[in-house]
């Protein structure tokens, strides 16, 4: 039985300090201890992408990370991408394009594509498809998701829709 | 999950953990899936150890730190330009999320016959640098991997780096993976080929490694020798494909039958000429 540790990291721009077991899954830490339920558990084994979060700007699977790994890191969850008042262009376009049906995959989709748009502001359709190839959606058939990401990329470049 | 998890910043901080029986974790994409809900007592994460990262050229070798992630390797010009056979495998490994986490060293120590980087590394005659408190040693990759999930890693030892002799710039490098789908697929068969031809197009040296067709990746020496001294054409590749089918030892599993794997493995060789301009 391990001792608890005091873990300090940045979560959606705010410093966090929390006492936790070092082997706790990051997904559980976020959802159960910190109340951020955007990241979802689909498979728990890295195959569905529903639990994706940004760690130091890189999209990673929070079901395959342990709490101790977060020490000093900067974590952004889908909640941190934007707010209802000030949404991220991806969130605007997902809503506008009907890219959300049941919504379970949406947080992971927006996190994976936020990473894509940060590194590739002008992706083509194939690049978007590649970027979400680790995120399963069982409702939409992906077409509207890809449309939404391309529209968000356009908006972020300041171009007319 | 009650494991104690340590993230040492250097190797000096790692050795005492290993002496106390800590289990090593690189990217976690295999360890945490295998151990779902049931973690070892102490986990030593390698991700903060800077000396296990970096890619560079060293005495005729490309040296890749064992804890480089697949995504970072894929972006590196030395990997993209000098080792396209490896780059192509990295590009189809897992998914972008897995590639952001999984590492080259982890793929090696997992030692799955379907490990996507392994066939290219076998075809590139890769060596692994093993490090422990006592120092380092270098062994060939195919000597290091002894069976499915089995390596010759000693207790207290880790894979620190992978070294690949720089292939001749004119060598033809080819990789193809056959899977049930494009992303997140465990390969049914994979082929990595590194083939050097002379000015007249005659094969001087061929290295062929096949994945998912035996208990480890298999270098098909008979097929390699059958290509030597010949032009790369349909006839020579069909003959080499027949040799490949004799040398591999595929199994039936839920992804494909042994017979299918044997057929595809031989046929994949023809793509070596189909895929080049």
Span B124-145, pLDDT tens digits: 999 999 999 999 999 999 999 9
> Are A77 and A95 within one domain?
no
B40: nearest CA partner in chain A: A23
> Are A110 and A144 within one domain?
yes
Do the Cβ atoms of B250 and B258 come closer than 8 Å?
yes
pLDDT number for residue B262: 97
Which of A81, A112, A139 delimits the end of a domain?
A: A81
Which of A31, A62, A81 delimits the end of a domain?
A: A81
φ, ψ (nearest 5 deg) of residue B152: -95, 30
Task: Give the CA distances from residue B274 to residues B8, B194, B235, B277, in Å, rounded to whole numbers and listed in that order.
Answer: 48, 15, 13, 8
Other beta carbons within 10 angstroms of residue A68's beta carbon come to: 22
Q: What is the CATH number of the domain that holds A36?
A: 3.10.20.30
Q: Which class is domain B172-274? A: alpha beta
> Are A122 and A151 within one domain?
yes
Q: Read off the pLDDT of residues A139-159 as tens digits, 9 standing for 90 and up.
A: 989 999 999 999 999 999 999
Q: What is the CATH number of the domain that holds A131?
A: 1.10.150.120
Tokens of B111: 């030692």
pLDDT number for residue B2: 78
Domain span including residue A46:
5-81
pLDDT tier, B277 (very low <50, low <70, confident <90, very high otherwise): very low
Do the Cβ atoms of B208 and B134 come closer than 8 Å?
no
> Are A13 and A46 within one domain?
yes
How many CA atoms does the CB half-sphere of B100 hold within 13 Å? 23
> Are A63 and A97 within one domain?
no
Q: In this structure, is residue A161 part of a structural domain?
A: no
Locus of tokens 């506008």: A96
Q: Read off the pLDDT of residues B81-106 as tens digits, 9 standing for 90 and up.
A: 999 999 999 999 999 999 999 999 99
Residue from B92, B129, B131, B89 nearest B217 by CA: B89
pLDDT number for residue A36: 98
Q: Read off the pLDDT of residues A103-150 as tens digits, 9 standing for 90 and up.
A: 999 999 999 999 999 999 999 999 999 999 999 999 989 999 999 999
pLDDT number for residue B28: 96
Q: In this structure, is residue A136 part of a structural domain?
A: yes
d(CA B55, CA B79): 8
Q: Read off the pLDDT of residues A54-103 as tens digits, 9 standing for 90 and up.
A: 999 999 999 999 999 999 999 999 999 999 999 999 999 999 999 999 99
> Are A59 and A94 within one domain?
no
Q: H or E element: which one contains B129?
A: strand B127-132
Q: Read off the pLDDT of residues A14-32 as tens digits, 9 standing for 90 and up.
A: 999 999 999 999 999 999 9
- Hey, where are the domains in chain B? 4-45, 50-165, 172-274
pLDDT tier, B183 (very low <50, low <70, confident <90, very high otherwise): confident
Instruction: Using a pLDDT cut of 70, give the percent of chain B over it.
Output: 97
φ, ψ (nearest 5 deg) of residue A8: -120, 125
Which of A81, A105, A138 delimits the end of a domain?
A: A81
- Rounded mean pLDDT, B46-55: 98
Q: Read off the pLDDT of residues B14-32 as tens digits, 9 standing for 90 and up.
A: 999 999 999 999 999 999 9
For chain B, the average pLDDT equals 95
- Indicate the CATH number for domain B50-165: 3.30.465.10
> Are A36 and A101 within one domain?
no
> Are A74 and A36 within one domain?
yes
Interchain CB contact of A3 with B (< 8 Å): yes
Q: What is the total count of domains within chain A?
A: 2
Chain B residues in contact with A22 by the CB 8 A cut-off are 3-6
Report which DSSP code applies to B207.
E
> Are A35 and A73 within one domain?
yes
Q: Is the pLDDT of residue A40 over 60?
A: yes
pLDDT number for residue B34: 83
Interchain CB contact of A87 with B (< 8 Å): no
Listed by number, the residues of chain A in 123-152 with a beta carbon closer than 8 Å to a beta carbon of chain B are 130-131, 133-135
**CB pair distance less than 8 Å for A71 and B2:** no
A3: nearest CA partner in chain B: B4
pLDDT number for residue B1: 64
Q: Is the pLDDT of residue B247 over 60?
A: yes
> Are A98 and A144 within one domain?
yes
> Are A35 and A67 within one domain?
yes
Q: In this structure, is residue A145 part of a structural domain?
A: yes
């Amino acid at each position: 039985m391990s001792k608890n540790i005091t873990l300090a990291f940045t979560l959606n721009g705010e410093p966090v300090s929390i006492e936790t077991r070092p082997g706790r899954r990051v997904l559980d830490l976020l959802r159960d201890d910190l109340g951020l339920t955007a990241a979802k558990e689909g498979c728990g084994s890295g195959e569905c992408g529903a639990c994706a979060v940004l760690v130091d700007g890189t999209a990673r699977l929070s079901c395959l990370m342990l709490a101790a790994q977060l020490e000093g890191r900067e974590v952004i969850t889908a909640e941190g991408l934007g707010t209802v008042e000030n949404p991220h262009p991806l969130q605007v376009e997902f809503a506008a394009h009907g890219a959300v049906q049941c919504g379970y995959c949406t947080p992971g989709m927006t996190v994976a594509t936020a990473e894509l748009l940060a590194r590739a502001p002008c992706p083509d359709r194939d690049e978007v498809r590649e970027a979400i190839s680790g995120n399963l959606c069982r409702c939409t058939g992906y077409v509207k998701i890809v449309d939404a990401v391309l529209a968000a990329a356009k908006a972020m470049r300041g171009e007319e829709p | 999950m009650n494991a104690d998890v340590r993230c040492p910043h250097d190797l000096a901080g790692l050795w005492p953990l290993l002496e106390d029986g800590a289990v090593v974790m690189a990217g976690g994409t295999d360890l945490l899936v295998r151990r779902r809900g049931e973690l070892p007592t102490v986990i030593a994460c390698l991700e903060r150890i800077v000396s296990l990262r970096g890619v560079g050229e060293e005495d005729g070798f490309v040296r890749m730190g064992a804890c480089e992630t697949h995504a970072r390797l894929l972006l590196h010009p030395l990997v993209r330009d000098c080792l396209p056979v490896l780059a192509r495998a990295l590009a189809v490994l897992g998914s972008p999320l897995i590639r952001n986490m999984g590492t080259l060293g982890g793929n090696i120590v997992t030692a799955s016959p379907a490990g996507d980087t392994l066939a290219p590394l076998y075809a590139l005659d890769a060596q692994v640098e093993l490090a422990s408190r006592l120092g380092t040693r270098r062994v060939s990759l195919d000597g290091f991997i002894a069976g499915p999930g089995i390596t010759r890693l000693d207790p207290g030892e880790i894979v620190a780096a992978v070294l690949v002799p720089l292939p001749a710039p004119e060598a033809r490098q080819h990789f193809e993976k056959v899977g049930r789908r494009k992303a997140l697929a465990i390969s049914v068969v994979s082929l990595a080929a590194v083939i050097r031809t002379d000015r007249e197009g005659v094969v001087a040296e061929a290295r062929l490694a096949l994945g998912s067709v035996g208990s480890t990746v298999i270098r098909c020496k008979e097929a390699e020798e059958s290509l030597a001294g010949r032009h790369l054409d349909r006839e020579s590749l069909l003959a080499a494909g027949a040799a490949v089918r004799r040398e591999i030892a595929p199994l039936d599993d839920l992804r494909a039958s042994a017979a299918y794997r044997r057929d595809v493995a031989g046929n994949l060789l023809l793509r070596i000429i189909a895929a080049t301009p």
